[in-house]
Amino acid sequence: MKQERFDKIIATQFNISRKDARIAIRRGKATLDGKVLRDFGALVNVESDITFNGQALNYKKYIYILMNKPKGVLSASSDKNKQTVVDLVPEHLRRQGMFPVGRLDKDTTGFLIITDDGEFAHKAISPKYEVYKSYIVTLDGSLTDEMVKAFAEGIVLADGTRCRKAELEIISDNIARVKICEGKYHQIKRMFGVVGLGVNELKRESVGALTLPKGLEEGACIELSTEEIKVIFTDC
């Protein structure tokens, strides 16, 4: 069974700083197997019976939050002047070191995972693993079969950058579903710019084989299990 420092366990699992965790531990606010433990540097089994301020610990190495990102919110961990997606995470689900997996533009909505698991984040966004992200796009003009072909062949952006092959599915005259496995800066907007269309609305609906729940309102979020996280990589 894994062991960690007592102060680290308290800090990460209860979303407080290491300094505050140490102060609280010294003051007798934490217990191990029913007894107060004041040694914040003690190595402790993470599956032990631990409480902090009377609250029982349910240890999780990492946490995964699925958010339906609303417009006008930054895909960032923090910002001095603007609201971020981490600011929207309910207090009981927050952790030190949380960050969004990949960035959605400020006015892009939809599927966004927030976590503290760097290895997972790298695998989910790296083109190497070919995890496809699906978007619903509303455009300012009509879609054509020639555009579908151009996306399938790989769009060359205005600066000469070649995008990987992408899937463009026409839903209606000016609404499409786009699937890509990379995340260049403003990529979808730039891809459509090459074929002469502007993007009016952009919503991410899925990452890999995991889809945004239909009933999840904008700005709301749910915690994902490790089993649900694995679904993302089903088709990789």
Q: Give the CATH number, domain containing residue 96.
A: 3.30.70.580
**Whether residue 72 sits in one domain with residue 52:** no
**Whether residue 146 sits in one domain with residue 202:** yes
**Whether residue 181 sits in one domain with residue 165:** yes
Whether 236 is covered by a domain: the verdict is no
List per-block mean pLDDT (blocks of 10 residues) for the chain, which spans 236 residues. Answer: 90 92 96 96 93 92 96 94 95 91 93 96 92 97 98 96 96 98 93 98 97 96 94 84
Question: CA–CA separation, 210 vs 41, rounded Å?
Answer: 40
**Whether residue 69 sits in one domain with residue 49:** no
Residue 157 confidence (pLDDT): 96
**Whether residue 180 sits in one domain with residue 154:** yes
Domain that holds residue 39: 3-56
pTM of the model: 0.87
DSSP-assigned letters across all residues of 92-148: GG--TT-EESS---TT-EEEEEEES-HHHHHHHH-GGG---EEEEEEESS---HHHH
Cα Rg of the chain, angstroms: 22
**Whether residue 109 sits in one domain with residue 14:** no
Residue 27 confidence (pLDDT): 96
Residue 47 confidence (pLDDT): 87
Residue 96 confidence (pLDDT): 86
**Whether residue 151 sits in one domain with residue 138:** yes
Q: Could you give the number of structural domains in the chain?
A: 3
Give me the CATH number covering residue 151.
3.30.70.1560
Instruction: Name the residues annotated as catalytic.
Output: 105
